Structure 1
Amino acid sequence: MAGLAASGSNPDVDLLYDINGLAKDAPHWFDRVMEFVGEYGLLLAVVLLVLACWWSLRRRAGDAAPGVAALLWAPLAAALAVVVNVPIRDFVARPRPFRDHPGLDVLVSGKTDYSFVSDHAAVTMALAVGLFVAHRRFGLVGIGLALLEGFCRVYMGVHYPTDVVGGFALGTAVALLLSPLAMALLTPVVRTVGRSPRAGRLVRSRSAAGSSRTEPDPSARGARSGRERPVGAEERDLAA
């Protein structure tokens, strides 16, 4: 299977040339920006998005354990996607596109491993889908960043478009299909950590924990208002 896209015209290679051709027409400084963004920047942005979501969830009133557990699953799913990709890469053994297509403008040198599937695409999408399970709005932003990551990998000339699509599929499958099992295992652990005086701050902020303890029960408040009468109310009723 080493010659999966070695030669010949096909949509995968055509799209590779179309997207990578943008790098040839772009200014040198823009290519350097895309090199950093595609190699490190977008992955860092998704990680920061996960941290921002964690900060938001722990400040929310109510039971934060399921949301924090889902968020904890996101990096675990990304790591698992990389592990699963190791045998996939060795089995497919697809060379990097610049090895079979010398005319490409390669922005990152030193890539000697196989091309299918893209680790960057798998990791960012696994993080984004795990983030989506925890928080829809943050997750949609993360998925947008993951799609941009896939575009950058093709733009840089280090992956075929199908490498990126395969990475997206792998990251989504790992994060989504294993999510119920991960939630069942992680939620009790997170709840246990949340009850700890010190480590509990990882699950809930001090203000959120305080508000949940002091917030009165509406039903109890209504019952009390129905039972309690102002001082002297009985005497006024008899006088009337």
Structure 2
Amino acid sequence: MNYDLFKSINQFAGHHPFLDGLMAGVTNNALMIYAIVLLLIWFFGKDQYKKTVVYAAITGAFALLINFIIGHMYFEPRPFVSHKVNLLVDHAADASFPSDHTTGAFALALAVLFVHRKIGIGMLLFAFLTGLSRIYVGHHYPFDILGSIIVSLVISTVVFKLSPFLEPVANAIIHIYNRIPLVPKTTAKGNSKNL
């Protein structure tokens, strides 16, 4: 079933130039795009937004750590190792389950979504596209993506619940940043309820 679902998506790769370019671009640049978004939130957002960036970074780091552990406990070969696939982007033949790109994308998106809805929804939609692109280019099975979403959801929920305990860390980081000369500063707290 996993391989059948994979084939139903990957079969289009290499036959549609626009989709190929889009999916390869997303798969290659997704995490960089998320990093840019978080930097923009940090530089131009008020303290409440900066705290969200700190929590998102913590969420992403812990989610990828869990992936690292899973990948060493259970090794699933990449689709292009076990099958003939339409491989659009070269990749090392390391563990397929779960997907680091998808986990990172969903972890960051969910961390933002829990606090700032409008930005988070956009990031979440892009996370789904990131996961789809990983299948399309031949790097992952659908169940790899599902596993990544589950890891991200669990870790982002845990970090969100622990955010009151992590707030002193976030405040310290923001305080240090605000003491750096010549960097953008917006220190007033923003209301995130309707964002």
TM-score, normalized by length of structure 1? Answer: 0.69
CA distance change for structure 1 residues 167 and 201 in 2, over 3 Å: closer, same or farther? Answer: farther
User: CA offset at residue 25 of structure 1?
Assistant: 2.0
Secondary structure in structure 2 of the residue aligned to 1:24? coil
User: CA offset at residue 34 of structure 1?
Assistant: 2.4
Task: Find the counterpart in structure 2 of residue 89 from structure 1.
Answer: 71
Aligned-residue sequence identity (percent) comes to 27
Specify every segment of 5 or more residues in structure 2 that has no aligned partner in the other structure, as ranges.
190-195
CA distance change for structure 1 residues 195 and 73 in 2, over 3 Å: closer, same or farther? Answer: closer
Identify which of 20, 26, 31 aligns with 1:31.
20
User: CA offset at residue 37 of structure 1?
Assistant: 1.9
Tell whether the 8 Å contact from 1:69 to 1:183 is kept in structure 2 after alignment.
Answer: no
Q: Distance in 2 between matches of 1:175 and 1:133?
A: 9
Identify which of 108, 117, 120 aligns with 1:139.
120
Q: Distance in 2 between matches of 1:139 and 1:125?
A: 10
TM-score, normalized by length of structure 2? Answer: 0.83
User: CA offset at residue 152 of structure 1?
Assistant: 0.1
What letter corresponds to residue 97 of structure 1 in structure 2?
Answer: P
Tell whether the 8 Å contact from 2:43 to 2:184 is kept in structure 1 after alignment.
Answer: no
User: CA offset at residue 99 of structure 1?
Assistant: 1.6
**Does residue 51 of structure 2 align to residue 69 of structure 1?**
yes
Task: Find the counterpart in structure 2 of residue 113 from structure 1.
Answer: 94
Q: Distance in 2 between matches of 1:138 and 1:123?
A: 16
User: CA offset at residue 134 of structure 1?
Assistant: 3.2
CA distance change for structure 1 residues 90 and 198 in 2, over 3 Å: closer, same or farther? Answer: closer
Q: CA RMSD in A?
A: 2.7
Q: How does 1:69-218 map to 2 (within 5 A)?
A: 69-102=51-84, 104-187=85-168, 189-190=170-171, 193-194=174-175, 198-199=179-180, 205=186, 208=188
Q: Distance in 2 between matches of 1:36 and 1:193?
A: 33
More relative contact order in 1 or in 2 (CA 8 Å, sep 6+)?
2
Tell whether the 8 Å contact from 1:194 to 1:203 is kept in structure 2 after alignment.
Answer: no
Q: How does 1:212-231 map to 2 (within 5 A)?
A: none
Aligned length: 189
Q: Distance in 2 between matches of 1:161 and 1:170?
A: 14
What letter corresponds to residue 20 of structure 1 in structure 2?
Answer: N
Specify every segment of 5 or more residues in structure 1 that has no aligned partner in the other structure, as ranges.
1-9, 59-63, 210-240
User: CA offset at residue 147 of structure 1?
Assistant: 0.4
User: CA offset at residue 23 of structure 1?
Assistant: 0.9
User: CA offset at residue 93 of structure 1?
Assistant: 0.9
Q: Which moves more between the two structures, 173-182 or 190-199?
A: 190-199
